Amino acid sequence: MATALAHLESTDALRDLSFDGASFEDIDLSGKRFYGCSFRRAAFKGVLFTRTILRLCLFDDSTMESCDLSHVDAQFSSFGGTRLSNVSFENSELLHDSFCGASITECTFNNSNLYDSRFIRCELLNSDFVDCNLKRVYLIPSKEEGVSYKLSNTMEAVRDREHLYL
């Protein structure tokens, strides 16, 4: 892990590194490019990921508190079981990503493209999906309270198990 952390500070493009279980606080990762990196069970607080590229990255069972992932380009990444609190994903490309089983509280996804992403058996609390592309998004939370989908194309999202398609 020490080698991975040293790479994190010294380069903008990181490939196939493991940051599993690491803690990140008040660090700026803006503009970095991560390919095939693992952040499972990691803790993030006040971390800036603005304009970061994520490809095939795993954040499963992590915690993110007060982080900024605005203008992120994340594809084929997983946030399964992650606890997200006060996280901004505004103006982001979140394509084919998984938020299955995640706890999403007071987060914003406004003006984002969520094409073909998964929000299955997650908790959505007091979060905004304003003016988002929800085409082919599997939006089947186990709990949903205070969520706004204003101006989003909810009719193109899969909202119940009867309409699941692969």
33-35 and 43-45: which strand pairing?
Answer: unpaired
What is the per-residue pLDDT for 8? 83
Q: What is the mean pLDDT of each run of 10 residues along the chain (166 residues)?
A: 71 96 96 98 98 98 98 98 98 98 98 97 98 96 96 94 62
**Residue 60 class from Cβ within 10 Å (0-12 exposed, 13-18 middle, 19+ buried)?**
buried
Fold of 2-163: Pectate Lyase C-like (2.160.20)
Q: Could you give the C-alpha distances from 22 to 38, 96, 142, 154, in angstroms and in order?
A: 10, 25, 29, 36
Q: What residue ranges do the domains of the chain occupy? A: 2-163
pTM value is: 0.93
What is the per-residue pLDDT for 1? 63
